[in-house]
Amino acid sequence: QPWDIQKSGNFSYIELYKILKRENMAASGGEAKFMISKGLVLVNGAVEFRKRRKTVIGDVVECNGKRVMIVEN
């Protein structure tokens, strides 16, 4: 299943809540957004409250004991 990668100028990104849903850290997009709003998600070691934060290659997302690094394929 392909990632929902977006383009903005010269860089590609995926919104944070979509990563949580895609990697089964959350059961749904709504649950992912709720978890982010409650401060349960870290990006690069810091709590992130922006549901639509643009994550890019090299970012590390952590939630519920699971850790994912965004890499180029």
The pLDDT, as a whole number, for residue 61 is: 95
Kindly give the pairing relationship between strand 60-63 and strand 42-43: antiparallel
CA Rg value for the chain: 11
Rounded CA-CA distance 48/26 in Å is 15
Q: Which residue has the tokens 């978890």?
A: 35
The pLDDT, as a whole number, for residue 26 is: 95
CB 62 within 8 A of CB 55: no
The pLDDT, as a whole number, for residue 13 is: 86
Which tokens in the block code for residue 10?
Answer: 């010269």
What average pLDDT score do residues 45-72 get?
A: 92
pTM comes to 0.85
What average pLDDT score do residues 37-62 get?
A: 95
**Minimal CA–CA distance to 19: which of 33, 9, 39?**
33
